[in-house]
Amino acid sequence: MRHFLILAGALLLAACSRTPIQEQQAYVFGTRVEVLVVSPDPAHGRQAIGAVLREFDRLHRAYHAWQPSELSDLNLALAQGRPQQVSPELAALVAEARQISDQGGHLFDPGIGQLIRLWGFQADEFKAELPPEAEIKAWLASKPSIADLTIDGHSVTSSNRDVALDFGGYLKGVALDRAAAILRSQGISNALINIGGNVIALGSKEGRKWRVGIQHPRQPGPMATVALEDGEAIGTSGDYQRFFEVAGKRYPHLLDPRTGYPADHTQAVTILIPALPKAGTISDAASKPIFIAGPGIWRDVARRMDIGQVLRVDRDSRAQVTEALYPRLEFVGQRPEITVVP
């Protein structure tokens, strides 16, 4: 997966390390994940990484959208029009995802699971075929949204039976925050966690900042690199990550709930989140509405979500980058056409 190259800079640092770095990779959430820990005690570092990967696996199994899970049980209840008692954790996740979705004008909406299924993206491999237009129109007429859900304690109900939750654009960020908390609780202060291009940094590498690469959406390798401060997170949504092509046209998994079709005006959006308690969660969820919003709107959506550091690459490979992020970027190779925006 090309977006996995976001760790290129960090791996170079690891290669010349004097302090032992423990590193382990896995495949979770439908993507490759990597955890790097700087620790003078290799056994301790490996133990901490193991705890992180176990939590990733638990989250993946508990909240899988199309395989048996607590989330799929909830979706069945919503489709049948009955309330469902859920775990305190799932109730909190639904409430948080609904709040983030509202901040982004529901351009990112975990309640569109039926639409994701129609497009064939609830699968490990995608078929190159378009869904029937009539089914897209029927979904649009129903307008299902996570906003249709009501949470009463641990009971979740919906006013719209067509709501189906899919946490694919949200759970990786939650996992980043969980990983950071687990590592800190085990005394790990310096680490880098990457889940399919969503990255959070802890501390530094022997006093040097972790530097990560931002994948070029149309070429192998990074477009730019950026050094991360302790606790910062970076997330990228791109049309090159999960997509299929029909008659030469690319159809990515980033679906616009306003039209029922994939957004085709943007190649990639990268956002950098400062060291906040939910930096990882925001880095994952907030890149989606900015991507989907499109030209003339994306900057307003970013402001509404209080996202100040954004790099957007449009369909013509032109880059727009905010003033707050531009000085931090080091472009690699041939620079794209860049417009700096407030």
285 occurs within a structural domain: yes
Residue 212 located in a structural domain: yes
Query: Which of left, alpha, beta for 243 (phi over 0: left; psi -120 to 50: alpha)?
Result: beta
Q: Which of 69, 115, 126, 128 is nearest to 93 (CA)?
A: 69
Domain count, the chain: 1
Amino acid letter at 154?
A: H
Asked whether residue 22 is assigned to any structural domain, the reply reads: yes
Q: pLDDT-based confidence at 281, cuts 50/70/90?
A: very high
User: Residue 335 maps to which CATH number?
Assistant: 3.10.520.10
Residue 111 lies in a domain: no
How does residue 203 score in pLDDT terms, banded at 50, 70 and 90? very high
User: Residues 26-85: pLDDT tens digits?
Assistant: 999 999 999 999 999 999 999 999 999 999 999 999 999 999 999 999 999 999 999 999
Which pLDDT does position 5 carry in this prediction?
45
Give domain status of residue 88, yes or no.
no
Ramachandran sector of residue 152 (left: φ over 0; alpha: ψ -120 to 50; beta: rest): beta
Q: Answer yes or no: is pLDDT of 9 > 80.
A: no
Residue 303 within any structural domain of the chain: yes
Q: Which amino acid is at 187?
A: G
Provide the percentage of residues in the chain whose pLDDT is more than 90.
91
On whether residue 94 sits in a domain, the answer given is: no
Rounded CA separation 107/267 (Å): 17
Mean pLDDT of 206-222: 95
Burial class (CB in 10 A: 0-12, 13-18, 19+), 72: middle
Q: Can you give the pLDDT at residue 20?
A: 87
**Across the chain, what does the average pLDDT equal?**
94
> 31: domain range?
2-41+189-341
* Assigned domain for 305 exists: yes
